[in-house]
Amino acid sequence: MSANVQTSSESILGVDALSATPYKVSYVLNIPIASLTYQQVLSYLEEQIERKAKNFCVTLNLDILRLTNENESFFNVVKNADFIFADGMPIIWLSQAKGLRSENTIPLPERVPGCDIVQDMCRLSHEKGYKLFILGAGPGVADMASQKLKQQLPNINVVGTYCPSAAELSNDAQSQEIIKTINATAAQVLFVALGAPKQENWVYRHRDQLAPYVILPCGGSIDFIAGTQKKSPTWLGNLGLEWLYRLACNPKRLFKRYILDDLPFLIKAYCKNIRWQPFAAFS
């Protein structure tokens, strides 16, 4: 994952006429996803830090895509993110189904695992001094992850961690205190490990107040670093079977999500293979 990172956008990005973004976009179920490779996504995020340009990112996996279909409010949260990339092979497969894409868009080139992006952002902090703040994960997990990262990357610059309660996140005044704590550290990158859709909704509500340039909701990525959850082998992820590994590791928590919710949604969406009509159920 630590290949040389380009910082110039000219060699990798081209303006997309449909979305007015500095990169090509593929629309999957009306969600505009950056049609970029892993290294291009990493380069783009690094460039945003250097430019001091704020980006609310979404690591779009199948579960998040399903949630956008079930909840119109969450659909608007995700669609209006600054930068969306494909975290998982099911998103790639859906982008290749012609009937599920908008006209003049192209299939996505490859999966961009959010957990690997988090690891490489940590490596860039080690190499370039970027300031990182970790919000969320379970009690003590972010601190454990920070300690392990410092063992692996001695120059990493983790400027703060905080594990908020559900009550704090739902209370605007307490959320403002959390934001003040984050901003006071002058963090340039904020990892938000609260789980979807909570993490995306919280960031969206407070995106204007948050000062970090790259704001990355990252689910269980911090648990992988801390070692409190097992990360699936890369080859399984490339086959689109990461979910099966995680299910085997944590069946009680993930059975409903993967088997009862996500898998039927994927089959229905892929087999449907027609132009997406968002929120037909709401009309």
Q: How many domains in the chain?
A: 1
Return left, alpha or beta for 147; rule: phi > 0 is left, psi -120 to 50 is alpha, else beta: alpha
Residue of 281, 280, 268 lying closest to 94 (CA atoms): 268
For 58, the domain range is 25-226
Does residue 256 lie within any of the structural domains? no
CATH number of the domain enclosing 84: 3.40.50
Query: Which helix H or strand E contains 28, and what residues bound it?
Result: strand 25-28
Helices 198-206 and 172-184, axial angle in degrees (round to 10): 80
pLDDT of residue 281: 42
Rounded CA separation 49/90 (Å): 29
pLDDT of residue 274: 45
pLDDT of residue 113: 97
Q: Which residues of the chain have pLDDT under 50?
A: 1-15, 17-18, 274-283
Does residue 245 lie within any of the structural domains? no
> What tokens appear for 260 in the block?
């009862």
> What tokens appear for 14 in the block?
């081209």
Cβ-based burial of 76 (10 A; exposed 0-12, middle 13-18, buried ≥19)? exposed
Does residue 11 lie within any of the structural domains? no
156's CB contacts (< 8 A; 6+ apart) are: 122, 125, 126, 132, 149, 150
Does residue 137 lie within any of the structural domains? yes
Does residue 242 lie within any of the structural domains? no
Does residue 5 lie within any of the structural domains? no
pLDDT of residue 22: 80
Does residue 64 lie within any of the structural domains? yes
Does residue 121 lie within any of the structural domains? yes
pLDDT of residue 100: 64
Give the CA dihedral 245, 250, 251, 253, nearest 10 degrees: -130
Q: For residue 58, what are the β-bridge partners?
A: 84
